[in-house]
Amino acid sequence: MIPTAGEPVVVDTPSGAVRGRVHADGDVVEFLGLRYARAARFATPVPEPAWAGVRDARTPAPQCPQLASRMDEVAGPSDAEALGQDEDCLTATVRAPRDAAPGDGLPVLVWIHGGAYVIGGASLSWYDTVRLVREGRVVTVSVGYRLGVLGWLRREGVSPGNLGLLDLAAALSWVRDHVSAFGGDPGSVTLVGESAGAHAIACLMGVPHLRPLFAGVILQSPQLGLGLASERAAARVAGFVDDALREVAGEGADPRTVDIATLLRAQKRAMVRHAGPGGMNSTPAFAPIAGVEPLIGVPVGDPWVAAAHAGHPMIIGTTADEANTFIRIAPPLRRLGEGPFGPLVDLASGYLTRRVFSAPADRLATRAAAAGTTVSTYRFTWRAPDSGLGACHAIDLPFLFGGREAWQQAPMLAGASWDDDVEPLGRAMRARWLAFAAGGAHRAREQRVR
């Protein structure tokens, strides 16, 4: 019998039964909005308790509350508005082959989205993993985590900081305990992230007690050159948030209790102030903080030493023109680039690409290889003929996910043929990533045999 899109599918997990659905691609089933943990505002996550009955998992989860994004100027329209926003955002989407059964031991890919730690979401149609599931016979888990002030504020008596990383750690623990029910192998988990998602994975690699939760990593365009925030820098940003709250909500406004719209307005003002005159400070206002749980013992000065010695087999790379994306979405820089200062802007783009992305990625790869880790590196150089963006930041994502409907209107693909350009290179890229994940499954089996 040919499965019908939307047809319900029930799976029994260690926490309770969940009702998913057949994907529009009939060979894949999906379980949407699975809560892996709960957390009050500025509280550390706690595991989702078990439940009785069957919990529905057929509706995409909302995104973490966030400010408007300008990424549509590069990546095209998204379904972010339709998804909505909610502070209750510690959820995962699981997709698996329709015929997968508990105990099948399939490789697992965990997707961690990017967005500079302030935007994005696991449920966006951009990140539909159906092609990966179908072409590689894998289980995928896409996880959401807290962003911006909700995930990264560090202020005594209010928020400990690094809550977004603690969310991701909770998600990986959930994967370990639950993915077998969907046919996945908890000993063969490969983390895949882009931009801030890849940066977050590098952070997790530096935490010894979290390393057993995954077997390999794929880091796409990690902004490692931005390093980690210091506690002093985090305290400065917290002061900016306090000042902004007084401006928008009055004296005594408490970030723990103000409505989310007010908190986001304060976040925006704090980010503008942190960026400084002309927005020249490129370090993110809200990001992982060195020395704060779970990054205890990770230094600000050279934060990636521990990641280099984590021992996880690795694919790591960048695009050739990463910084072009940030120039396009920053109106003053875009205007400069379109005027007589265009050549200077191009030089600046190349410099920032090397400093923030390619050079530190190469250093991490070299260090990891020297430590005995299996490392593959790449540089994504494909460019659309009419985009003017070159091989910009995020250009690799349509090739990874292969969703024509979600990506075909992206300005960064202007002038390219989906069938002749994107599809062939995308298949090759997915095949490489999937072969790496399958290798992780073999390594996990070997370790169990030993």
Are the C-beta atoms of residues 407 and 155 closer than 8 Å to each other?
no
Catalytic residue selected from 322, 349, 358, 387 = 322
Residue indicated by tokens 């969940």? 18
Minimal CA–CA distance to 147: which of 263, 314, 244, 250?
263
Instruction: Verify whether residue 231 is a known catalytic residue.
Output: no
Give the architecture-level CATH label for domain 8-230+287-449.
3-Layer(aba) Sandwich (3.40)
Instruction: Verify whether residue 393 is a known catalytic residue.
Output: yes
**Coil/strand/helix, residue 140:** strand
Question: At residue 426, what is the residue type?
Answer: G
Q: What share of the chain is helix, strand, coil (3-state, %, to 5)?
A: 40, 20, 40
Q: Compute φ and ψ for 59, nearest 5 degrees.
A: -120, 130
Instruction: Give kind and range of the element (H or E) at residue 389.
Output: none
Residues facing residue 191 across a β-bridge: 110, 217
- Other C-beta atoms within 10 Å of 94: how many? 29
pLDDT tens per residue across span 148-177: 999 999 999 999 999 999 999 999 999 999
Domain spans of the chain, in order of start = 8-230+287-449
pLDDT tens per residue across span 19-31: 999 998 889 999 9
Residue indicated by tokens 């206002």? 285
Residue 87 confidence (pLDDT): 97
Catalytic residue selected from 15, 123, 195, 221 = 195
| Residues 20, 115: Cα–Cα separation, whole Å | 27
Q: Compute φ and ψ for 37, nearest 5 degrees.
A: -160, 170
Q: What is the CA radius of gyration of the chain?
A: 21
pLDDT tens per residue across span 122-150: 999 999 999 999 999 999 999 999 999 99
pTM: 0.95
pLDDT tens per residue across span 312-371: 999 999 999 999 999 888 877 777 767 776 788 788 889 999 999 999 999 999 999 999
Instruction: Verify whether residue 423 is a known catalytic residue.
Output: no
Structure-block tokens of residue 127: 């990140």
DSSP 156-207: TTTEES-HHHHHHHHHHHHHHHHGGGGTEEEEEEEEEEETHHHHHHHHHHT-
